[in-house]
Amino acid sequence: MSVQVEKIKALIEKREKARLGGGEKAIDKQHQRGKYTARERIDMLLDDGSFEEYDMFKLHRCTNFGMEKKQFLGDGVVVGSGTIDGRLVYVFAQDFTVNGGSLSETMAQKICKVMDMAMKMGAPCIGINDSGGARIQEGINALAGYAEIFQRNIEASGVIPQISGIFGPCAGGAVYSPALTDFTLMMENTSYMFLTGPAVVKSVTGENVDAEHLGGASVHSTKSGVTHFTAKTEEEALAMIKQLLSYLPSNNMEEAPRVECNDPIDRMDDILNEIIPENPNEAYDMYKVISAITDNGEFFEVQPKYAKNIIVGFARFNGQSVGIVANQPSSYAGVLDCNASRKGARFVRFCDAFNIPIVSLVDVPGFLPGTGQEYNAVILHGAKLLYAYGEASVPKITVTLRKSYGGSHIVMGCKQLKTDLNFAWPSAEIAVMGASGAVAVLQAKGIKQIKEEGGDVAAFIAEKEKEYSDLFQNPYQAAKYGYIDDVIEPRNTRFRICRGLAQLATKRETRPSKKHGCMPT
C-alpha cells in the first residue's frame, strides 16, 4: 500500500471513529431512551446527502479531573451546513453520547463557527440541544463559551431565523441560548428546560417538584410560553422545523419563498356570512374563519397551547407567507391579558423583522380586568403588543369581525397604528365600550332617579342600550371617519386580503432613524 493510500485509509478510519461520537455503548444508551444521536437527527433534518460537516477532528484542551482521558473526536457537538428543501441552513446538534453533551470551550467554538457562517451567508441556524450544561471540569472556559454563543444569538436576532430544538436536558444558563432564538421546540417527555433543577429547588425553597413538572414540554407549552412547539417523536419534531422554515425567508433582506397556489383567490366561503352568532355574547371558533380564508385552509400555528385567547401562526394567501394574529372568542371571549399580549407581541415583531406581512382578525371585548392582571403588569404587556404593531412596517391588514372595544381596539392593529388596510364585517362593533358599560356610566344619574321614583329601570336601561348600540355598535362610525377603509361581505374576506397583499407588495415606509427603541417589557 502506498503512503498516500495509507493516509487516505487512516482518514476514513478517523472519520468513522468520529462518527461514533461517545462510542457504541453510549449510542445504545441514547437509543434505549427513545432518543436519536446528534448525527441521526441531522440526517433526518437535512436533504439527503447535503450535510457538510466541519470540525469533526476537533478535541477539547482540558486536563482537569482526568479529562485528558475523556477525549472523543469532534467533542460533544456535530456542526455543519446543509440544505432543507434545497435552501442553505447551518446546524449544530449536541451529542449527548460525549460527556453528556456538556458544553466545553471547544464545543462553543464549533457552534460559534457555524453561527458566524450562517450570519455571513444569510442562512437560518438550527440548534439541537441535548446537554448536561456547562462542562463542569472546564470551569470558566465553559461559561465563556456559553457567553460567546449568547452574544451571537443576540447579534443574529432579526437578521437570520434561529430555531432551537430541545431534544434532551437543557439546564442552567444554557436555557438562555434557546430563549434568545426565534422559535423553540421541545420534545414531550424526553426534554426539559429550567434554570435550576429539582434538587436545587428543593434545597432553596423546599418545594418538591420533578423535572417534568418543573420544566417539561407540558409546562413550557402551556404555562410559561417558553416553547413554541412540542412534538411526540423526534421525526415529528424535525418535520415541524422544516415546515416552519418553509414560511420564513433565509434572512431579513429576503422575502419568504412563494409557493404555487392552486386555491383560487376569489374562493368564497358562505360559512363566513353565518359564523357570527345572533347573540353578541356567544362564542364562535376563530379557527373556522382562518381555515376558510387561507390557501387550502392551511395554518401552521405557533404556541397553540399557550394563551389560547389569541391565535398566532403562519399561513399563505395566494402562495405568499403571512403571519396571522387573531383573537379567539371561544377562549375567555378573546379577551387580551398579559400572556396573550406577550404572545402576540413577540410574533408580530418576528414577522416584522423578517418581512412577513401581518393579517389581524379582530374580535376582542377588551383587556382582562383585575388585580391578577394589574399585578402582573398588564399595562406593560399590553403596551408591548401596542408597540409591536405600531413599530411593524411590513404590510398590515386588519379585519374586524365583531367586537373591537376600547384600548384593545387600538392595540389590535387599528388604522392609526399605520395599518395599511382596515376592513370590517357588517357585524363589527367598534366603540369605546359595550352598551351595558356605556349606559351604566352615562345614565348613572338617570338610573338612580328612576329607581328612587320606583320607575321601570330595566326598560329605561334597555332603551338607552338600544340607543347606544344603534349609534355605536357597528362599523359605520369608524368607516365614516375613514378609520375603516371598507365594510366587506364576510365571505369575500379571502379575496380582499389576497388583493390587499398584492397591492401592498411594494410598500415602503421609513421611520425616524435611532439606535433602537425602548420597548416596554
Between 136 and 268, name the residue whose CB sits nearer to ligand HXC. 136
Q: How far is the CB of 98 from ligand HXC (least distance, A)?
A: 8
Q: How far is the CB of 192 from ligand HXC (least distance, A)?
A: 9
The neighbouring-strand residues paired with 421 are 397
Q: How far is the CB of 200 from ligand HXC (least distance, A)?
A: 8
User: Grid coordinates representing 413?
Assistant: 392593529
The neighbouring-strand residues paired with 125 are 90, 162
The pairing of strands 77-84 and 87-94 is: antiparallel
Helices (H), 354-442: 371-375, 378-391, 406-411, 435-442
Between 171 and 180, name the residue whose CB sits nearer to ligand HXC. 171
Q: How far is the CB of 202 from ligand HXC (least distance, A)?
A: 14
Between 159 and 211, name the residue whose CB sits nearer to ligand HXC. 211
User: Grid coordinates representing 243?
Assistant: 415546515
Between 66 and 482, name the residue whose CB sits nearer to ligand HXC. 66
Return the closest-CA partner of residue 294 out of 490, 498, 486.
498
Q: How far is the CB of 169 from ligand HXC (least distance, A)?
A: 4
Q: How many CA atoms lie within 13 A of 322 on its CB side?
A: 32
| Number of other residues whose CB lies within 10 A of the CB of residue 439 | 23
Between 137 and 427, name the residue whose CB sits nearer to ligand HXC. 137
C-alpha pair distances (Å), 198 with each of 195, 224, 384:
10, 17, 33
Residues constituting the chain: 521
Q: How far is the CB of 116 from ligand HXC (least distance, A)?
A: 20
Q: How many CA atoms lie within 13 A of 115 on its CB side?
A: 25
Q: How far is the CB of 220 from ligand HXC (least distance, A)?
A: 17
Q: How far is the CB of 154 from ligand HXC (least distance, A)?
A: 13
Task: Spell out a b/e string for 281-301, using b for 16 or more CB atoms within 10 Å of the CB, else e.
Answer: eeebebbebbbbbbbeeebbb
User: What DSSP element (H or E) covers 469?
Assistant: helix 457-472
Between 197 and 249, name the residue whose CB sits nearer to ligand HXC. 197
Between 78 and 383, name the residue whose CB sits nearer to ligand HXC. 78
- Between helix 140-156 and helix 105-121 the angle, nearest 10°, is 10
Between 134 and 401, name the residue whose CB sits nearer to ligand HXC. 134
Between 37 and 99, name the residue whose CB sits nearer to ligand HXC. 99
Contact set with ligand HXC (CB under 6 A): 99-100, 102, 132-137, 143, 146, 169, 171-174
Q: What angle do CA 213, 214, 218 make, to 5 degrees?
A: 50
* Cα Rg of the chain, angstroms: 27
Dihedral of CA 244/250/256/262: which sign? negative
Q: How far is the CB of 129 from ligand HXC (least distance, A)?
A: 11
What φ, ψ does residue 320 adopt, rounded to 5°? -95, 135
